[in-house]
Structure 1
Amino acid sequence: MRTPITIFLLVILCISVACEQNTLRQLAASRDSSILHEGKSLELFELVNEHGMSIQVTNYAASLTDVFVPDKQGNFEHVVLGFDSLEAYLGKHPKLGATVGRYANRIKNAEFSLNGQTYQLEKNNKGHSIHGGIKGFNRQIFETDTFYTVKDTTVVVFKYRSRHLEGGFPGNLDLSIAYKLTNRNEIILEYTATTDRPTVINLTNHSYFNLTGCKGPVLNHMYMIKADSITPVDSTGIPTGELMSVTGTEYDYTSPRPAEDRIQKMGKGYDINYKLNKQLDSCELAAVVVEPLSGRVLRAYTTEPGMQFYIPNSKMDYLVGHNASTYGPYYGFCLEMQHFPDSPNKPHFPTTTLLPGETYRQVTIYQFETISE
């Protein structure tokens, strides 16, 4: 029987990139469908690389709606939770695949001060603000700027202007998000933003991954997170301001292991920010996740200093997902690349302040591979 360490070493030593298992196809970006909502067009785009891997994205919340990749036998399946129709994204769901902002994660008491002025935000989580408030970016319709193919990459770019005091945040914020699919089976998310007044910004993608093909819980996945510490939180999810070593705790994923035994011991899922072992603004490896039965591997890279590791235990059986599937507890994991929660109120955390004349930049990469037998 293979140990967790053995399985992880197979990822490093015996990787068989999925593209090698499939006949080469034509790299393409296409508008798949569209509907009207509140007088605006919601569009769905499909990006396909030459190895058959595909993703779908929509300008509604600049969302990643589907990722279709092979297992070690070459069988393609969906590996993010999502819907088959655009209409479903307009209803109730836990931000599946959405871009969240203007400030991802929590801000204590839904307020912060900047340059001597206090800003009151929308309270939508235990008296705090989370993910930009009641109608954050996950409920906004972005403009489709362009879509095209160049060399080994296919691209869709979405843009959005967040108006001054939208959700309580200062400044007109002009945001651009590029989704790129490469022939290296990478999904690259590139964010840029500018403002006309001092503001704060923290963006992330809220995709729920499931490397089984969304056919069961993610508890058997092998998780490795490149982080020696977390930002511990109080009973309402707000960081205390300290850093806590993960050594000897249920948060220690410095070596690969499944989450099942720890979740059973805790009696709950994960929802915690890790301080990544990396240089600020350098795009480096943040996490590796392996699903042993399918052989699928997800490697995640980011320029951000933190990552919210999220495995919810809430039922999602009210959702009808891809191929009419239903989702149960622990059916997805999120790797939310970000600055730390409540940074505007904790000056010793890496800054989230953006000033006029500056450009916010973030890169996150999700790369898919398979391991051999």
Structure 2
Amino acid sequence: MKKHGLLVLAICTLFACGEKKEEATLSGLYPTDFEASVDGKKTALYTLTNDNGVEACITNYGGRLVSLMVPDKNGTPTDVVLGYGSIADYLASDGNFGALIGRYGNRINNGFFTLDDVTYELPHNNNGHCLHGGEKGYHTKIWDGKQIDNQTLELRYLSPDGEANFPGNLDIKVTYKLTNDNAIDISYEATTDKATIVNLTNHSYFNLSGKLDAPILREVVMINADRYTPVDETLIPTGELAPVENTPMDLRQPIAIGVHIDDEFDQLVKGRGYDHNWVLNSNGDINVVAAKTKNLGTGITMEVYTNEPGVQFYTGNFMTGNDTGKHGITYPFRGAYCLETQHYPDSPNQSDFPSTVLRPGEKYFSRCIYKFGVE
């Protein structure tokens, strides 16, 4: 259970018991279940809809994508992301379903990095390493939300100098846009007043089956990458850019996730399945598909586009099967997968990896598009 020392939780409901009179979203969420005061700031649920009736629900608690309703091959609206049905449930969880991740997505070795001859020690929250900015990363922050129109949400957060011991005041704007070609287009912008490191991403858990209590082993995946970054026993990159060819890491052609996930291959054993960074062939071209997944039952497809050099493919290997989400659904072991567009893990300690340093006067910009269709 996550403890918030400054938490004052006040969920507003119309009735203490019985049915709610307020209108639910298409995904069955009630906005008042997301109205609370956390650390003195108000939380809310924002609903985006496009011209096709696709709906995305986002809360400013952690900037989380709570639900995403897209049509299946029969035109039936289908929720394709895991999440919870209230702020209270999110606060009670240590997970990061749908969250904005930062200041540094993924792992930093031993929680240390050196920048301009100054060494910084970060939180140690994952096998002695810093993962996703620490226990109180951006996934736990209350972002300032502004709904621009029916299809656009702007979220802002000023991360103060020294937060989680990262240097520099980082002024961040994240824009969620639900486009008319059925895509969630996420843009990240940031500036700093002091040299720092930045690696922002989204940690949505996807399941295209129409059954959020079903494992994802039969879903088909393709990742447009000739190489990946192997890891040690604690999932820190070794520094190598290894070829995927002739290994279970070769996902260049569509293949069911479960085909090789339990192979006695060193990297899959270390990750308990897929939990690795792929070096994308798209070379930062937002118009080139970086990854694609498909569910053969619903026909739903998801294409991923990004200007980032890598993507972390994670197959829910640390899901316990004891997590109850929206509508009382229990999420099983390997009940979803993540495709987190990013710079590589531990880049601040790997001189041969693309740099994640941001300096005053520069502007950080990252973009990720999750585009949905049917086949």
Structure 1 residue 260: Cα displacement: 1.1
* Partner in structure 2 of residue 238 of structure 1: 236
SS, match of residue 261 in structure 1: coil
**Structure 2 CA distance for aligned equivalents of residues 133 and 81 of structure 1:** 22
Amino acid at match of 1:290: K
* Partner in structure 1 of residue 352 of structure 2: 348
* Partner in structure 2 of residue 225 of structure 1: 223
Structure 1 residue 281: Cα displacement: 6.2
**Structure 2 CA distance for aligned equivalents of residues 147 and 312 of structure 1:** 31
Count of aligned pairs between the two proteins: 337
**CA 1:283–1:346 in 2, change beyond 3 Å: closer, same or farther?**
farther
Per-residue CA deviation, residues 330-355 of structure 1 (Å, 9 max, x unaligned), is 10000000000111111211110000
**Structure 1 CA distance for aligned equivalents of residues 285 and 363 of structure 2:** 13
Say if 2:175 is the partner of 1:178.
yes
Structure 1 residue 59: Cα displacement: 0.7
2:252 aligned to which of 251, 254, 257: 254
Q: Percent identity between the aligned chains? A: 43
* Partner in structure 1 of residue 184 of structure 2: 187
Amino acid at match of 1:230: Y
SS, match of residue 289 in structure 2: strand
1:114-133 paired onto structure 2 within 5 Å = 114-133=115-134
Say if 2:299 is the partner of 1:295.
yes
Per-residue CA deviation, residues 173-203 of structure 1 (Å, 9 max, x unaligned), is 0001011001110100010000000000001
Structure 1 residue 278: Cα displacement: 1.9
**Structure 2 CA distance for aligned equivalents of residues 315 and 340 of structure 1:** 23
Amino acid at match of 1:246: V
Say if 2:161 is the partner of 1:161.
no
**Structure 2 CA distance for aligned equivalents of residues 296 and 54 of structure 1:** 15
Say if 2:271 is the partner of 1:270.
no
SS, match of residue 285 in structure 1: coil
* Partner in structure 2 of residue 216 of structure 1: 214
Amino acid at match of 1:96: F
* Partner in structure 2 of residue 207 of structure 1: 204
How big is the alpha-carbon RMSD for the aligned residues of Structure 1 and Structure 2? 1.5
* Partner in structure 2 of residue 50 of structure 1: 51
Structure-1-length-normalised TM-score? 0.87
* Partner in structure 2 of residue 19 of structure 1: none
Per-residue CA deviation, residues 138-186 of structure 1 (Å, 9 max, x unaligned), is 1111111x2122xxx7101010011111111100000010110011101
SS, match of residue 164 in structure 2: helix
* Partner in structure 1 of residue 72 of structure 2: 71
**Structure 1 CA distance for aligned equivalents of residues 236 and 318 of structure 2:** 20
Structure 1 residue 271: Cα displacement: 0.4
* Partner in structure 2 of residue 197 of structure 1: 194
Structure 1 residue 280: Cα displacement: 3.4
Higher relative contact order (CA 8 A, sep 6+): 1
Structure 1 residue 40: Cα displacement: 1.4
**Structure 1 CA distance for aligned equivalents of residues 88 and 187 of structure 2:** 26
Amino acid at match of 1:125: N
Amino acid at match of 2:79: H
Structure 1 residue 137: Cα displacement: 0.6
Query: CA contact under 8 A between 2:286 and 2:305: conserved in structure 1?
Result: no
**Structure 2 CA distance for aligned equivalents of residues 314 and 125 of structure 1:** 12
* Partner in structure 2 of residue 37 of structure 1: 38
Q: Pick the structure with more strand per residue.
A: 1
Q: Which moved more, 1:117-126 or 1:262-271?
A: 262-271
Structure 1 residue 284: Cα displacement: 3.0
**Structure 2 CA distance for aligned equivalents of residues 165 and 37 of structure 1:** 21
Structure 1 residue 315: Cα displacement: 3.8
* Partner in structure 2 of residue 147 of structure 1: 147
* Partner in structure 2 of residue 363 of structure 1: 367
Query: CA contact under 8 A between 2:279 and 2:311: conserved in structure 1?
Result: yes
**Structure 2 CA distance for aligned equivalents of residues 45 and 282 of structure 1:** 27
**Structure 2 CA distance for aligned equivalents of residues 257 and 64 of structure 1:** 27
Structure 1 residue 84: Cα displacement: 1.6
**Structure 2 CA distance for aligned equivalents of residues 331 and 312 of structure 1:** 6
Structure 1 residue 283: Cα displacement: 5.0
**Structure 1 CA distance for aligned equivalents of residues 160 and 80 of structure 2:** 34
**Structure 2 CA distance for aligned equivalents of residues 65 and 252 of structure 1:** 31
List alignment gaps of at least 5 residues for structure 2: 1-29
Query: CA contact under 8 A between 1:281 and 1:305: conserved in structure 2?
Result: no
1:333 aligned to which of 330, 337, 342: 337
List alignment gaps of at least 5 residues for structure 1: 1-30
Structure 1 residue 282: Cα displacement: 4.5
* Partner in structure 1 of residue 314 of structure 2: 310
Per-residue CA deviation, residues 239-276 of structure 1 (Å, 9 max, x unaligned), is 11111000011111000000212123246321000000
**Structure 1 CA distance for aligned equivalents of residues 240 and 319 of structure 2:** 32
Structure 1 residue 88: Cα displacement: 1.1
**CA 1:109–1:289 in 2, change beyond 3 Å: closer, same or farther?**
same
